[in-house]
Amino acid sequence: MQKRPTPCFQNARQAALALALTGALLATAGCDANNTEDDADRERLSGSWFITDLRVDGDPAFASLDSQYPNAILFRLRVDKNENELFLAQSLNDRGDTLLIRRGTFEVDADDSELKLNTTARFLSLSYDFEASETDDPARVDLMAEDDTDAEDLIDLLALGGFGNVEDVAITIARERVPTSSFRPSLSGRPTAPAATP
């Protein structure tokens, strides 16, 4: 005859089961909260931007970017109908010739304020900062390389030469392109590069 479990053992087993269920529910709730935060930041980052500032090892370096890409660099993040997260970095000259084009996928990690860009050639992580904007639809966002490897990969992504080894790179992206008249007075009269879809 099989012994019936003692009430003490039954209670212990029920307590363990209750703890396991509680842990699973808390983990699910945590995942849902993280997903909600990721979705919110992804929504804020999605859309078309222009790179309006570049800083290398703490020094202003936008003049180098501006001289190489006179019509600015379009930086686009979007989610397609199949829920693929796609990014595009592109710049055209006045004749419509492509000066730069980079395509890939992206991920957003709201916990670490991290934007991950992935292309066939590189994977880099950028910290994003919404501090510059107090609205839900930020007008500009600062993106900073996570480490020196990401810094060099960001320089490579923008196809910029002449910097050598770098340790810290940051860019600012803005919803509207700011004419850099301080570098080229006639720039504001140039046509804006047409938007492209990744």
pLDDT of residue 18: 55
User: Is 83's pLDDT higher than 80?
Assistant: yes
Pull the structure tokens for residue 19.
């703890």
User: Domain 44-189, what fold?
Assistant: Lipocalin (2.40.128)
Mean pLDDT of all residues belonging to the chain:
80
Tell me the mean pLDDT in the region 176-197.
44
pLDDT digit string (tens) for 7-24?
A: 554 566 666 555 555 555
Domain boundaries, the chain: 44-189
The answer to whether 86 touches 78, Cβ cutoff 8 Å, is yes
Q: Which H helix or E strand runs over 20? A: helix 7-45
Query: How far apart, in whole angstroms, are the C-alpha atoms of residue 175 and residue 133?
Result: 12
Backbone dihedral region for residue 46 (phi beyond 0: left; psi -120 to 50: alpha; all else: beta): beta
184, pLDDT greater than 50: no
For 31, other C-beta atoms within 10 Å of its C-beta total 10
Share of the chain above pLDDT 90, in %: 59
The residue with greater pLDDT, 193 or 198, is 198
For the cut 60, the answer to whether the pLDDT of residue 36 exceeds it is yes
The C-alpha R_g of the chain, in whole angstroms, comes to 24
Give yes or no for residue 92 having a pLDDT over 70.
Answer: yes
